[in-house]
């Protein structure tokens, strides 16, 4: 007995049989589903890839070269897998979408073509004309105010000790829910973008600014997507930042891991650049890690596991940020499975973002209440450090707020009010649930422009009970 333990401690096991008394019932095998990772030649069911070998399929150059950006190319790849009605709907979607479209063969192979309308990957990356809802009346294009907090183009300094560096304006995929649709992707018929090309000049200005601010310790390198940075650029950005005495932590952010894990498996030059930066960081006593973006358990396959283990073996921490999307991950079952599967492949589920107000994305948003309910379910499923925080990125530049920390929330009008004392003291921020999810009374009020300011005034007078 340890010297500190009181003698009156209850005896836990029966010393005669050594049998524990509180045996849990055997688990339902379904609760271990997070360990079943898709492997084998799953891509061969797509007509265009039926003769593609594993060696070819994992080649990141082949994946990039065969990435699809036009409806007619998608049709060629699928041939008769999708119905004519679906293809027409897709063509209409491509015309209306404010984001460019980019889908790798890997992604295309993960979509369930027996039911593309409700497939969670289709919803995220392939717009359909029939699914658009009118944008929320309170939507602005840069809804997070990233440009207003930018001292130099593409560097957002909103919080005191950390900043977001948008190094490049392209991505390996274009997400329909992207907050940065003001900047990333090619210009579409719907939106003319702010230009944030990878450029020495723009970068120099950003680095100068970072070096000039002693309070900055933490830089997020994002975009666009750091997957699209050349190996030499990864090295340059990493080295320049780590060499600044004020910088203690950097993170490369990339959705790429989720949509094209093949890059980590076969782009050795790029992985080596990242490893080099990580090694330099360790030598300097600074953290270099990786943030990625999986939204649905179907995105996590044996390919993802093999890709992630490459980073794990190097000792690089990987964290995940998901977006909460209607019809994709808004049920306790799916969100729970996502969290368990991420943990299983050594990725820490870090955040789940309540879907921002973005143009053309209303059909994908959920109410704040959905997030509150999900959080309650997820907490307790696994280790606390693998339990994501559900956050609202407060429109207007308040930054990320814990979903539970609203000042007031009206479930009828869908308006919630937020404060961010350490970011913008004394200011109020508002989030708006999607109108189509509100009760009848709320929908009627949003239909009347005269009611809008009144709903804001009402929330300002409410206090949470």
Q: Which stretch binds ligand PLP (CB under 6 A): 91-99, 162-170, 255-263, 412-420?
A: 162-170
Beta bridge partners of 253: 291
Q: Is 316 in the site for ligand SF4 (CB under 6 A)?
A: no
- Out of ligand SF4, ligand PLP, none, which partner does residue 184 contact, by CB within 5 to 8 A per kind? ligand SF4
Q: Residue 244 or residue 358: which is nearer to ligand SF4 going by CB?
A: 358
Q: How far apart are CA 36 and CA 204, in angstroms?
A: 46
Q: Which stretch binds ligand SF4 (CB under 6 A): 87-95, 141-149, 219-227, 310-318?
A: 219-227
Q: Is 158 in the site for ligand PLP (CB under 6 A)?
A: yes
Instruction: Report CA dihedral (259, 263, 265, 271) to the nearest 10 degrees.
Output: -130
Q: Residue 391 or residue 415: which is nearer to ligand PLP going by CB?
A: 391
Q: Which of 33, 96, 131, 162 binds ligand PLP (CB under 6 A)?
A: 162
B/e letters for 119-140, b = 16+ CB within 10 Å, e = fewer, are: bbbbbbbbbbeebbeebbebbe
Q: How far apart are CA 237 and CA 252, in angstroms?
A: 10
Q: Which of 78, 97, 171, 403 binds ligand SF4 (CB under 6 A)?
A: 171
Q: Is 34 in the site for ligand PLP (CB under 6 A)?
A: no
Cβ atoms within 10 Å of 75's Cβ, excluding its own: 17
Q: Residue 59 or residue 142: which is nearer to ligand PLP going by CB?
A: 142
Q: Which of 180, 340, 365, 417 binds ligand SF4 (CB under 6 A)?
A: 180
The residue with tokens 């994946």 is 63
Q: How far is the CB of 187 from ligand SF4 (least distance, A)?
A: 14
Q: Residue 339 or residue 420: which is nearer to ligand PLP going by CB?
A: 420
Coil, strand, or helix at residue 280?
A: helix
Q: Is 318 in the site for ligand SF4 (CB under 6 A)?
A: no
Coil, strand, or helix at residue 208?
A: helix
Q: How is 217-241 classified by DSSP, letter by letter?
A: -EEEEESS-GGGS-HHHHHHHHHHH
Q: Is 220 in the site for ligand PLP (CB under 6 A)?
A: yes
Q: Is 196 in the site for ligand SF4 (CB under 6 A)?
A: no
Burial of 446 (0-12, 13-18, 19+ CB in 10 A): buried
Q: Parallel, antiparallel, or unpaired for β 162-166 and 218-222?
A: parallel
Q: Is 113 in the site for ligand PLP (CB under 6 A)?
A: no
Cβ atoms of residues 392 and 431 within 8 Å? yes
Binding site for ligand SF4 (CB under 6 A): 171, 173-175, 178, 180, 184, 223-225, 255
């Amino acid at each position: 007995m340890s010297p500190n333990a009181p003698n009156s401690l209850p005896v836990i096991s029966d010393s005669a049989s050594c049998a524990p008394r509180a045996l849990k019932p055997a688990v339902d095998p379904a609760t271990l589903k997070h360990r079943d990772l898709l492997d084998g030649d799953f891509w061969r069911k797509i007509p265009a890839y039926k003769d593609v070998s594993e060696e070819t399929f994992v080649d990141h150059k082949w994946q990039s070269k065969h990435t699809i950006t036009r409806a007619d190319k998608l049709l060629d790849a699928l041939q008769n897998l999708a119905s004519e009605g679906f293809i027409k709907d897709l063509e209409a979607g491509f015309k209306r979408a404010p984001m460019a479209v980019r889908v790798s063969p890997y992604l295309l192979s993960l979509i369930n073509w027996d039911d593309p309308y409700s497939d969670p990957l289709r919803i995220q990356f392939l717009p359909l004309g029939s699914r658009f809802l009118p944008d929320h009346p309170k939507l602005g294009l840069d809804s997070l105010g990233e440009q207003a907090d930018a001292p130099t183009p593409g560097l957002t300094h909103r919080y005191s000790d950390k900043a977001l560096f948008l190094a490049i304006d392209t991505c390996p995929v274009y997400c329909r829910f992207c907050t940065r649709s003001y900047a990333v992707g090619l210009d579409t018929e719907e939106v003319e973008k702010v230009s944030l090309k990878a450029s020495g000049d723009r970068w120099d200005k950003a680095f100068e600014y970072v070096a000039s601010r002693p309070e900055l310790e933490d830089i997020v390198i994002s975009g666009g997507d750091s997957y699209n940075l050349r190996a030499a650029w990864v090295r340059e950005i990493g080295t320049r930042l780590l060499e600044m005495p004020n910088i203690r932590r950097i993170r490369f952010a990339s959705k790429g891991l989720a949509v094209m894990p093949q890059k980590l498996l076969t782009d050795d030059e790029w992985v080596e650049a990242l490893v080099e930066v990580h090694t330099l960081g360790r030598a300097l006593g600074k953290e270099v890690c990786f943030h990625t973006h999986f939204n649905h358990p179907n995105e996590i396959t044996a390919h993802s596991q093999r890709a992630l283990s490459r980073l794990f073996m190097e000792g690089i921490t990987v964290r995940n940020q998901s977006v909460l999307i209607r019809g994709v991950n808004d049920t306790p079952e799916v969100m729970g499975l996502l969290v368990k599967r991420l943990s299983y492949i050594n990725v820490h589920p870090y955040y789940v973002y309540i879907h921002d107000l973005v143009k053309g994305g209303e059909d994908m948003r959920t109410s704040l209440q959905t997030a509150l309910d999900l959080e309650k379910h997820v907490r307790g499923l696994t280790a606390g450090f693998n339990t994501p925080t559900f956050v609202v990125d407060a429109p207007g530049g308040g930054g990320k707020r814990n979903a539970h920390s609203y000042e007031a929330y009206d479930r009828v009008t869908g308006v919630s009010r937020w404060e961010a004392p350490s970011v913008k003291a004394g200011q109020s921020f508002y989030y708006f649930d999607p109108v189509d999810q509100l009760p009848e009374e709320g929908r009627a009020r949003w239909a009347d422009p005269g009611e809008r300011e009144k709903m804001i005034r009402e929330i300002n007078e409410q206090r949470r009970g």
